[in-house]
């Protein structure tokens, strides 16, 4: 099911489209005519020449949705006007709508006559003047945004679970990391039992878990070398190997 949210960018193509086109044809139309990126999650709306049907195209990260509605009677009478030949910019080739306006258009109504309250703080691109937001997720590459710089905080619960699942097959390799998580969780338990404030809890963790987290961070920084030579990163030779690599650098 296609869900339209207020945060989505919605563009209605001014010129009618050839409805013999399928997904590939409309994707090319978005690129060549509208000069828009069809893979950016924008909702594109097209109407046929007779005004009896509309098509909606949107990419959801895995593939394209193409929705087609044909009226049994009547026409989609509202539509953006065709711009003059001397229209100066590409914006004249499509009109932006809000999510509630698109719902009206789906019913063959007039989006310009919707009486919704104006946006108090419009949702749009993040200001470049703001500091990078903190992002908490597991360590999968696909979780990282391509166009937004974030302060990455990998989820420890997800990380520990992966080592627990592999423990039976690689007990020696996993034991060091699992025992490190034991220290971290113990510190968290102490902080809760002592009812520390947010500032006190942060200071406690920074003091008591820093050596443990430094060890884990070094493993992550040297992930490729760990994968190639796991025998050199066992608990009994971990620090010696780390010192050797530091001297070599």
Regarding whether 238 and 138 lie in a shared domain, the answer is: yes
Domain annotation covers residue 45: yes
Domain annotation covers residue 64: yes
Regarding whether 75 and 141 lie in a shared domain, the answer is: no
pLDDT value at residue 27: 95
Would you say 137 and 155 are in contact if contact means Cβ atoms under 8 Å apart?
yes
Q: Residue 223 is encoded by which pair of tokens?
A: 């992930």
Domain annotation covers residue 40: yes
User: Above 90 in pLDDT, residue 52?
Assistant: yes
User: Above 60 in pLDDT, residue 90?
Assistant: no
Tell which of 47, 81, 113 closes a domain. Answer: 113
Mean pLDDT of the chain: 82
Looking at the chain, the whole-number percentage of residues with pLDDT higher than 70 is 78
Domain annotation covers residue 189: yes
Range of the domain at 202: 134-248
Looking at the chain, the whole-number percentage of residues with pLDDT higher than 90 is 35
Regarding whether 142 and 240 lie in a shared domain, the answer is: yes
Domain annotation covers residue 240: yes
Least confident range from 99-103, 139-143, 173-177: namely 139-143
The answer for residues whose C-beta is within 8 angstroms of residue 208's C-beta and 6 or more apart is 187
pLDDT value at residue 233: 59
Would you say 14 and 94 are in contact if contact means Cβ atoms under 8 Å apart?
yes
| Bridge partners (DSSP) listed for residue 69 | 54
Regarding whether 98 and 47 lie in a shared domain, the answer is: yes
Domain annotation covers residue 195: yes
Domain total in the chain: 2
> In this predicted model, what pLDDT tens digit does every residue of 118-157 receive, in sequence order?
777 666 666 777 888 888 776 666 667 766 788 877 777 7
- Can you tell me the distance from the alpha carbon of 88 to that of 44, in angstroms, rounded to the nearest whole number? 21
Regarding whether 57 and 159 lie in a shared domain, the answer is: no
Would you say 55 and 45 are in contact if contact means Cβ atoms under 8 Å apart?
yes
Least confident range from 72-76, 96-100, 203-207: namely 203-207
Range among 37-46, 146-155, 180-189 rated most confident? 37-46
> In this predicted model, what pLDDT tens digit does every residue of 105-118 receive, in sequence order?
999 999 998 878 77
Domain annotation covers residue 124: no
pLDDT bracket for residue 67 (50, 70, 90)? very high
Domain annotation covers residue 119: no
Regarding whether 242 and 138 lie in a shared domain, the answer is: yes
pLDDT value at residue 166: 83
Regarding whether 184 and 89 lie in a shared domain, the answer is: no
pLDDT value at residue 122: 67
pLDDT value at residue 173: 72
Would you say 53 and 19 are in contact if contact means Cβ atoms under 8 Å apart?
yes
Would you say 48 and 69 are in contact if contact means Cβ atoms under 8 Å apart?
no
């Amino acid at each position: 099911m296609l869900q339209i949210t207020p945060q989505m960018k919605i563009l209605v193509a001014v010129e009618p489209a050839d409805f013999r086109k399928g997904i590939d044809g409309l994707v090319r139309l978005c690129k060549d005519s509208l000069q828009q990126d069809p893979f950016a999650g924008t909702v594109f709306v097209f109407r046929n020449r007779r005004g009896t049907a509309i098509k909606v195209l949107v990419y959801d990260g895995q593939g394209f949705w193409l929705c087609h509605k044909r009226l049994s009677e009547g026409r989609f009478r509202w539509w953006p006007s065709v711009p003059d030949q001397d229209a100066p910019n590409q914006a004249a080739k499509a009109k932006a709508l809000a999510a509630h306006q698109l719902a009206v258009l789906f019913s063959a109504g007039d989006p310009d006559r919707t009486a919704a309250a104006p946006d108090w703080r419009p949702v749009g691109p993040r200001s470049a003047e703001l500091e990078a937001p903190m992002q908490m997720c597991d360590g999968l590459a696909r979780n990282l945004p391509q166009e937004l710089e974030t302060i990455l905080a990998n989820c420890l619960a997800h990380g520990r679970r992966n080592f627990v699942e592999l423990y039976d097959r690689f007990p020696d390799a996993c034991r060091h990391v699992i025992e490190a998580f034991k220290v971290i969780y113990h510190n968290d338990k102490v902080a809760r039992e002592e009812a520390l404030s947010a500032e006190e809890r942060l200071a406690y963790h920074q003091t008591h878990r820093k050596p443990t987290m430094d060890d884990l961070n070094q493993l992550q920084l040297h992930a490729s070398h760990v994968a190639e030579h796991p025998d050199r990163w066992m608990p009994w030779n971990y620090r010696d190997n780390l010192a050797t690599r530091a001297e070599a650098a």
